[in-house]
């Protein structure tokens, strides 16, 4: 059985909710990623911040990214998956919620992230096609 832990990208890092968006953008640049899970003060997932969120939800609205926090940008209920979950569960979670990035949790700690690139590297063409059809069928989210 292939698990979330088998296909995830290790080394994902939190952005604390109190950090500003300019700091988040710097972290994304340094890590070479387009999204960061947002953690509360207890290192629990409270959202995901994307580069698009910073541009569309902050900069394009005329706000200063040095004054807006990651926590202020967190919206909705964050989705995540356990490291030992089957890859079928990963696909269902991402498809049902139309998300393109999924944090992976083990023992209540962030251990990785699954992105479109991870799916492309580890799944069959049929699985990827079905996933893409459902995730991109409606207005895209994170």
36 located within any domain: yes
pLDDT at res. 124: 80
Q: What is the mean pLDDT of the chain?
A: 89
15 located within any domain: yes
105 versus 120: which is more confidently predicted? 105
Domain with residue 45: its CATH number is 3.10.580.10
Per-residue pLDDT tens over the stretch 2-17: 899 999 999 889 999 9
Domain carrying residue 41: 4-135
140 located within any domain: no
Over residues 79-94, mean pLDDT: 94
Plot region of 107 (φ>0 → left; ψ -120 to 50 → alpha; else → beta): left
pLDDT at res. 39: 93
142 located within any domain: no
141 located within any domain: no
Instruction: Using the predicted structure, report yes or no on whether residue 135 has a pLDDT greater than 90.
Output: no
Q: How far is CA 121 from the centre of its chain?
A: 17
Number of H helices and E strands in the chain, helices first, is 7, 7
pLDDT at res. 125: 84
Rounded Cα–Cα distance for residues 93 and 44 (Å): 19
Per-residue pLDDT tens over the stretch 47-75: 999 999 999 999 999 999 999 999 999 87
Rounded Cα–Cα distance for residues 9 and 36 (Å): 13
118 located within any domain: yes
Report the number of distinct structural domains present in the chain.
Answer: 1
82 located within any domain: yes
Per-residue pLDDT tens over the stretch 12-34: 899 999 999 999 999 999 999 99
Report DSSP state, residue 103: E
Burial class of 140 by CB neighbour count within 10 A (0 to 12, 13 to 18, 19+): exposed
């Amino acid at each position: 059985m292939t698990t979330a832990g088998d296909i995830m990208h290790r080394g994902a890092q939190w952005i604390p909710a109190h950090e500003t968006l300019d700091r988040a953008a710097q972290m994304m640049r340094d890590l070479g990623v387009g999204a960061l899970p947002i953690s509360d003060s207890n290192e629990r997932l409270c959202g995901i911040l994307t580069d698009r969120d910073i541009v569309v939800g902050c900069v394009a609205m005329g706000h200063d990214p040095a004054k807006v926090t990651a926590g202020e940008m967190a919206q909705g209920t964050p989705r995540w998956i356990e490291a030992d979950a089957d890859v079928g569960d990963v696909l269902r979670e991402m498809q049902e919620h139309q998300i393109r990035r999924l944090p992976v949790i083990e023992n209540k700690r962030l251990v990785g992230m699954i992105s479109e690139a991870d799916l492309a590297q580890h799944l069959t063409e049929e699985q990827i096609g079905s996933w893409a059809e459902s995730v991109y069928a409606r207005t895209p989210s994170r």
